[in-house]
Amino acid sequence: MANFISTNLISSRSELNKTHLRIFVVAILALALVVPQANSFDIKDFENKIVERTLENGLRIIVLERRDAPVASLVTYANVGSSDDPKGFTGMAHVFEHMAFKGDQEIGTNNYAKEKIAIEAEEEAFLAWRSERNKGSLADSVKLVNLEKTFRSAQDECDQYVVTNELGNIIEREGFVNLNAFTSMDQTCYLYNFPQNKLELAIMLEAARFSNPVLREYHKEVDVVKEERRMRIESSGIGKLIEEWLSASFKAHPYGISGVGHMSDLGNYSREEATAFFKKYYVPNNLCLIVVGDVNAKDVFKFAEKYFGDLPKGDPIELIHTVEPEQLGERRVVVEDPAQPFWLVGYHVPNSQHADKPALDALVDYLGNGRTSLLYKKLVKETKKAVNVGALTGFPGNKYPGMAAVYAVNAKDVSNAEVEELVLGEIEKLKEAPLPEEEMEKIRARAKASFINQLESRVGMAIQLGSYEMIAGDWRELFRELDRINSVTGDDIQRVAKKYFTRKNRTIAVIETVDS
Amino acid sequence: MIYREMTRKGIIVKTIMRLSGVVAITALSILTLPCAALADQGRVEELKFPRLNKLQVPEVDKIELDNGIRLYIVEDHSLPLFNISIRIAAGSYLNPAEKVGLAGLTGQVLRTGGTSKWSGDEIDERLESVGATAETSIGLVSGNAFGGGLIEYSDLVLETLSEILRNPSFDQEKIDLAKTQTRAGIARRNDNPMQLASSEFSKIIYGKESPYARQTEYATIDAVTRADLIEFHKKYIHPSNLQIAVWGDFKKNDIIKDLKKYFGDWKATGETAPPPPEVDYDWSSGVHYAPKTDVNQSNIYIGHIGGLVTDEDYPTRIVMNNIFGGGFGSRLFNNVRSREGLAYATGGRFDANVTYPGRFFGFASTKSETTLKAIRAVKKQMESMITEPPTEAEMSRSIDGYLNSFVFKFDTRSEVVNRMVTYDAYGIPADFLNQIKDKVEKVTPEQVVEQAKKDFQLDKLHFLVVGNGADFDGSLEELGLPVDTVDISIPSPESDSDIENTPENIEKGRALLLAAAKATGGVDSYKKIKSYSRSGNLTMSMGPQLMTMSATIMVELPDKQVVTILTPGGEMKIVFDGSQGWQTMGGKTNPLPETEAQSSKKDMARSLIAIFGSLDNSEYTPVYGGSGEESGHSVEYVYLIDEAGDELIKLALDATTMIPVSSHFFGTTMAGPAAIDLVYGDFTEVDGIKIPFKESKSTGGKQFQELTVSEMKLNVNVPADAFAKP
């Protein structure tokens, strides 16, 4: 149904306008057909409200008009994540996410011409300092002190031209809320909610920061990211555990490499490397703009064309070709930490495009979702060995084969060995027989409820649409998920449990509590 | 109604603000840096914003049932969903001091513990098989029950919540489960340093025992009984304490009928809870250091008491807070984070609550090595609020930002209806938010400075640092205030209350210990022991693996000890010299934390040799503790308690032979403090004394350590330097 919307490339402004008109009329007609009535909800109708456009330079735009309040959410979905970090520069995608809030040649500076010179001097000082530092034990200690001094004063020199966080200031002043961004292994998303009359500003600011960003306060922001690492990983038992667990699970694929980056890499970035990263990945053909809310799709397309239209198309981005080899046997990770015990297992599973994905989704739902799940009943209610359990799939990403993970939060004074025996015992039971039809029905009912629930959040919908568009190649795939879950059988559950949840294919990671 | 007014005003307000901003900057401030002129004027300012589309105000119907339940109803046909949220006017502030955790437990087991109609597990099954939810909880000042699902299950959700609130059965097994979960939470509360810092700061501001800061402890959760839950429910969960909000894809009249069906005939009576207590703030200042050696980042809180939402100054404080520490362009964010790169997480505000004063604080988490630098940086921004008037850009970001984003206070049905419930609960006028908005619009830079002068008592600040002091960039004493150390160790559960400290029991306890000493060699032989050394194998369970290492334990009575363990990574020595402890391995020496040093001191006092050798002059009093059965033996129990009445150990003696069978005490395991059971075995005679050559320790029925002695020597020559710290 939604195919009536043109996905053709647009070659000129006038043609664009004609297309707009057509889309607009068709969209109005489509909306007229789906006036909401109590208890007559059809997911298909919802899907039909979504329109899309691709600019000539490859930028994709998806719009879901929603009139219940005069607000909208904008998500800029960059199809680049931590798994794209260059070797030796772990954390790069995430650092760039931070840098995207620093402005451009107009926003964020009081004198760009002078700032540019100061930044170049700072960078030169940084490179000199870094190259001495990276001589390791052969570095000249006196030189090092002086080089750092030079770098620090070059940094101070830059400061006078900076209007700190001006981009953020504009966004906040104009009433945008929930300004944020996140970087995962697969993606980098920039999000905010805005009053619907500021659509043009929203798109203009997005274009500004991705057209020609200035990497101002660059090394300081890297310091900020280091603090983020200390907070999320180094001062958190579970943070450390997950980092160790991923690195044990993936020896070849970058899913195993720290997304926030290693401390020594973080201190080592230059602007040149960051710019190269930006130029490669932040090209319009690797971006998707999604707007959900009280806007007219034609306006979104118009402003996108106006502000993003001149961006040159980049080279196509290829997927990472590295394939994680089959595991040769069970792997185990122990993190000794003063934190309380925690137990976690991961099984390698295919990516989200694979035919087994729906069955795996259903399986983890049955295993660890809610108080009636297999593991909650056994570990929490029955034996009280854990105080919570959970299961998920597609971790740490969906673009490439990732993991299905199961975890348990041990009750006080309960060892990891006890938890492990119980969890693995329950998993084995899944392999013995097909899941009964009555359990399958519950899984389907829950999937339907959670699917409809997720439609409520504007920003949540925007991220989902972007994610399906960029990873699955079509946002419509989001609306096929329910059909896919509905077609999973009890035999499928048994089959995928046997196929993937094997000893050989798993990595177990635990926190063993020690005194600090 | 109020919303229409807001949208109309939106445009005008914006224009006025621009004008007043210009006036403000010329009249007031030469202090502003010349470079603060907006660089975006060329682009952003050229944009003309169309009028904001009209907000269709979600209409809330308010109805009061005959039994006093207030209903708030909003139709919402955008998705086929149903939602319900019930406010309960009771909170954990009502907990008796010795039963902290009672309200929380009640809130949890209301839902999990079943009703007269269904067990908790049946409720789980009914809801989850259709993807619906119903949950209950009781927080600090109010409780909440909420539920939801697809609209076709609204009846199921309503009936379930009605049953849960009206006829809960508080099944004992589910109480036990909730207590297990609470205990795990207590054990884990030091695992998140940021959360830990916030809790500790609250204790400093409100006082450790205050309902606004106190924490559930093992002892207080243990003290809660099923009868307490039943009483709490009876007292506070009844129609006149409830407000029910529903929103979703229903027809108003239908849902009223349903709500009446499930809640209308509820006639229960109970009490109106007394209001939350007032805070009697003691204006003092100080530096508080909570040592946490396993982190490399300090969590810093600086501040004092804050204010109330109903304070006249509240609107000015909104503007002030936005400039000081709220959001992306605040002074704390700009300076501590972006300019200095000192923190990822930083912020602050003069916080306000409805019923009790909030906290005023500046916060930052920074690497250990920049702790003092970050403290000064946060403090400096507090000072700047008094000395540097807000710039035009700051005022605009704060006030225009507030006005322009005002629409987001109405963009979902749930926030509109739940806000109305809250306002009604506290008697706040329905147009309160608009009153605030009108006042926020008019705040001037001068008022912000005056407010900061009035609110920020910078000579009466408390500084809290949770972190690893060894790596700080200086001493906290540099802050010029007395430094106290905050004990974040988690208090162990209190000793069994079945100790009856009567003269008869003391006499009997002493007689039993004498008999036990006699049965194993005689008090005189024990008294002659000044030192001893045990060598053998120490087996420890490390997760699924068992690890056996050879170990030697040398003790000089009463309280010095050297434990030498041959680990796969080399020899490790753990030394306690009577006052302090340390650990040496691979040439590196690290001090033992105070709690652990104290624990090894207690371990020595718990040894049979120490107990029997000091019967005449012990600092512990023996108390008879009744008889029982253990591993097939009939046993007599003797407690040893200290002057404070705290239990050192509970010793089980074979009722016939008087030989020790086992002991029970609260000690340290790899997983932290725990109740430990120690079983003695393989008694072997050494110089006329029968000594257990096997000691196995377990906790919660799981063995975690076993010592098998191969050689035991009494009165060994302790080398002169055995207790010298390297």
How large is the average pLDDT for residues A495-508? 98
pLDDT-based confidence at residue B597 (cuts at 50, 70, 90): confident
User: Does residue B167 sit in the same domain as residue B310?
Assistant: no
- Domain assignment present for residue B158? The answer is yes
Amino acid at B207: G
- Are B443 and B421 in a shared domain? yes
Residues B185 and A7: their CA atoms lie apart, in Å, by: 53
Name the least confident of A25-39, B61-75, B76-90, B660-674: A25-39
Quickly state the pLDDT bin for B598 (edges 50, 70, 90).
Answer: confident
What pLDDT score does B41 carry?
41
- A209-218, B583-592, B625-634, range with greatest mean pLDDT: A209-218
| pLDDT value at residue B494 | 58
Q: Which residue has the higher pLDDT, B527 or A292?
A: A292
pLDDT computed for residue A115 by the predictor: 97
Q: What percent of chain B has pLDDT over 90?
A: 65
Lowest mean per-residue pLDDT among A276-285, B449-458, B657-666? B657-666
Give the model confidence (pLDDT) of A331-364 as tens digits. 999 999 999 999 999 999 999 999 999 999 999 9
What is the predicted pLDDT for the residue at B571? Answer: 86
| Average pLDDT of the segment spanning B650-665 | 91
Model confidence band, residue B299 (pLDDT cutoffs 50, 70, 90): very high
pLDDT of residue B581: 85
Q: Residues 378 to 407 of B: which have CB under 8 A from any A CB?
A: 393, 396-397, 400-401, 403-407
* Percent of chain A whose predicted confidence (pLDDT) is above 70: 92
Chain B CB within 8 Å of residue A39 CB: yes
Are A241 and A334 in contact by the 8 Å Cβ rule? The answer is no
Classify each residue of B220-237 as buried b or exposed e, where b means 16 or more C-beta atoms within 10 Å of its C-beta.
bbbbbebebbeebbebbb
Q: Residue B300: inside a domain, yes or no?
A: yes
Which chain B residues are Cβ-neighbours of A71 within 8 angstroms? Answer: 407-408, 411
- Chain A residues inside the 8 Å CB shell of B8: none
Chain B, window 78-107: residues with a beta carbon less than 8 angstroms from a chain A beta carbon: 78-81
pLDDT of residue A485: 95
Indicate if the pLDDT at residue B670 is higher than 80: no
- What domain range is B541 assigned to? 503-714
So what's the pLDDT on residue B671? 63
Mean pLDDT of A497-509: 98
**pLDDT value for B13:** 29
Shortest Cα distance, chain A CAs vs residue B521, angstroms: 36
Closest partner residue to B674 (CB to CB) among A231, A413, A510 is A413
Q: Is the same domain home to B419 and B477? A: yes
pLDDT of residue B595: 67
* Chain A contact for B291 (CB, 8 A cutoff): no
Kindly report, residue by residue over A386-423, the tens digit of the pLDDT. 999 999 999 999 999 999 999 999 999 999 999 999 99
The minimum CA-CA distance between A253 and chain B, rounded to whole Å, is 29
* Closest CA–CA distance from residue B98 to any residue of chain A (Å): 22
* Of the candidate ranges A38-47, B116-125, B248-257, B712-721, the one whose mean pLDDT is the lowest: A38-47
B589/A146: higher pLDDT: A146
B113 secondary structure, DSSP code: T
Find the closest chain B residue to A219 by CA distance.
B341
Spell out the residues 6+ positions from residue A234 whose beta carbon is closer than 8 angstroms to its own.
A240, B295, B296, B297
Tell me the average pLDDT of chain B. 88
Q: Rounded distance, CA B638 to CA A451, Å?
A: 62
Using the beta-carbon criterion (under 8 Å), do A231 and B365 form an inter-chain contact?
Answer: yes
Same domain, B93 and B225: yes
Interface check B674 vs A, CB under 8 A: yes
**B35 and chain A in contact, CB less than 8 A:** yes
Residues in chain A within 8 Å Cβ distance of B544? 416-417, 420
- Could you read off the pLDDT of B388-410 as tens digits, one per residue? 999 999 999 999 999 999 999 99
Nearest CA in chain A to B399: A173
**Does residue B165 belong to any structural domain of this protein?**
yes
Report yes or no: A222 at the B interface, CB cutoff 8 Å: yes
Stretch A420-449: mean pLDDT: 96
Residues B403, B474, single domain; the answer is yes
For A:414-453, CB contacts with B below 8 A are 414-418, 420, 441-442, 445-450, 452-453
A152 to chain B nearest CA, in Å?
Answer: 11
What mean pLDDT comes out for the span B504-518?
90
- What SS3 class is residue B313? coil
Q: How confident is the model at residue B646 (pLDDT cuts 50, 70, 90)?
A: confident
Mean pLDDT of the region A99-107: 94
CB contact under 8 A, A166 and B671: no
Chain segment A163-195, per-residue pLDDT in tens = 999 999 999 999 999 999 999 999 999 999 999
Q: pLDDT tens digits, residue range A24-59?
A: 333 333 333 333 333 457 888 889 999 999 999 999
Asked if residue B198 belongs to a domain, the reply is: no
Closest CB from A165, A452, A516 relative to B81: A452
> Comparing C-alpha atoms, which of B675, B672, B602 is closest to residue B640?
B602
pLDDT surpasses 60 at B553: yes
Q: Mean per-residue pLDDT for B323-346?
A: 95
CA–CA distances in Å: residue A95 to residues A116, A318, A473, B588: 20, 22, 26, 37
- Among all residues of chain A, which has the CA nearest to that of B153? A449
Tens-digit pLDDT profile for residues B560-579? 889 888 888 788 888 888 88
| pLDDT of res. A276 | 94
| Min Cα–Cα distance to chain A from B129, Å | 5
CA-atom Rg of chain A in angstroms: 25
pLDDT of residue B626: 84
Closest Cβ–Cβ partner in B55, B150, B401 for A172: B401
**Interface contact A43, partner B, CB < 8 A:** no
Strand partners, B628: B635
Size of interface A-B (CB pairs under 8 A): 304
Does A155 lie at the interface with B, CB-CB under 8 angstroms?
A: no
Contact A271, A80 (CB under 8 A): no
Residue A8 pLDDT exceeds 50: no
Per-residue pLDDT band at A9 (split at 50, 70, 90): very low
For chain A, say whether B549 makes contact (Cβ under 8 Å). Answer: no
What is the reported pLDDT for A408?
97
Report how far Cα A431 is from the mean position of its chain's Cα atoms.
33
Q: Is the residue at B203 inside a domain? A: no
pLDDT attached to residue B19: 28
> Min CA distance, A6 vs chain B (Å)?
27
Of chain B, the percentage scoring pLDDT greater than 70 comes to 92
CATH number of B576's domain: 2.50.20.10
Indicate if B558 and B460 belong to the same structural domain: no
| Domains held by chain B: number | 3
Question: Residues 479 to 508 of B: which have CB under 8 A from any A CB?
Answer: none
pLDDT at B247 over 70: yes
Which band of pLDDT confidence, cut at 50, 70 and 90, is reported for residue B648? confident
Q: How far apart are CA B395 and CA B265, in angstroms?
A: 54
A274-333 residues touching B, CB cutoff 8 A: 294
Q: Which one has a higher pLDDT value, B105 or B619? A: B105
Interchain contact, A38 vs B250, CB within 8 Å: yes
Residues B562 and B709 grouped into a single domain: yes
Interface test with B, best of A155, A162, A227, A238 (most B CBs within 10 A): A227
pTM of the model: 0.77
Q: Is residue B356 part of a domain?
A: yes
Measure CB to CB from residue B52 to each of A195, A235, A456 and give the nearest one: A195
Taking the CB of residue A193, how many other CB atoms lie within 10 A of it?
24
Q: Give the residue ranges of DSSP H helices in B223-353.
A: 226-236, 252-259, 314-324, 331-332
Task: Report pLDDT for B546.
Answer: 79
Q: Would you call B328 and A339 a contact, using CB atoms and an 8 Å cutoff?
A: no
The shortest CB-CB distance from A516 to any of B124, B192, B293 is to B293
Chain A contact probe: residue of B129, B369, B402, B440 with most A CBs at under 10 A: B129
Domain membership flag for residue B270: no
10 Å Cβ neighbour count for A484? Answer: 16
Q: What pLDDT does B665 receive?
A: 87
In a shared domain, residues B425 and B519:
no
| Among A175, A220, A413, beta carbon nearest to B700 | A413
Contact A387 B180 (CB under 8 A): yes
Are B406 and B317 part of one and the same domain? yes
Tell me: do B361 and B253 sit in the same domain: no
Tell me how far CA of residue A313 lies from CA of A8, A77, A497, in angstroms: 16, 16, 44
What pLDDT, on the 0 to 100 scale, is given for residue B667? 79
* CATH classification of the domain holding B18: 3.30.830.10
User: What confidence category does residue A7 fall into, taking pLDDT thresholds of 50, 70 and 90?
Assistant: very low
Q: Please state, in angstroms and rounded to a whole number, the distance separating the CA atoms of residues B226 and B171.
A: 8
**pLDDT for position A41:** 76
Are A175 and B401 within 8 A, CB to CB?
yes
**Fold of domain A331-513:** Cytochrome Bc1 Complex; Chain A, domain 1 (3.30.830)
Q: What is the mean pLDDT of residues A212-234?
A: 95
- What's the confidence (pLDDT) of residue B672? 63
Average pLDDT over residues B324-350: 95
- Which one has a higher pLDDT value, B565 or A158? A158
Interchain contact, A70 vs B53, CB within 8 Å: yes
Give me the residue spans of the domains in chain A. 331-513
> Are residues A271 and A219 in contact, defined by beta-carbon separation less than 8 angstroms?
no
Has residue B48 been placed in a domain? yes
| pLDDT at residue B7 tops 70 | no
Q: Is the CB of residue A366 less than 8 Å from the CB of residue A443?
A: yes
Q: Do A414 and B700 touch (CB under 8 A)?
A: yes
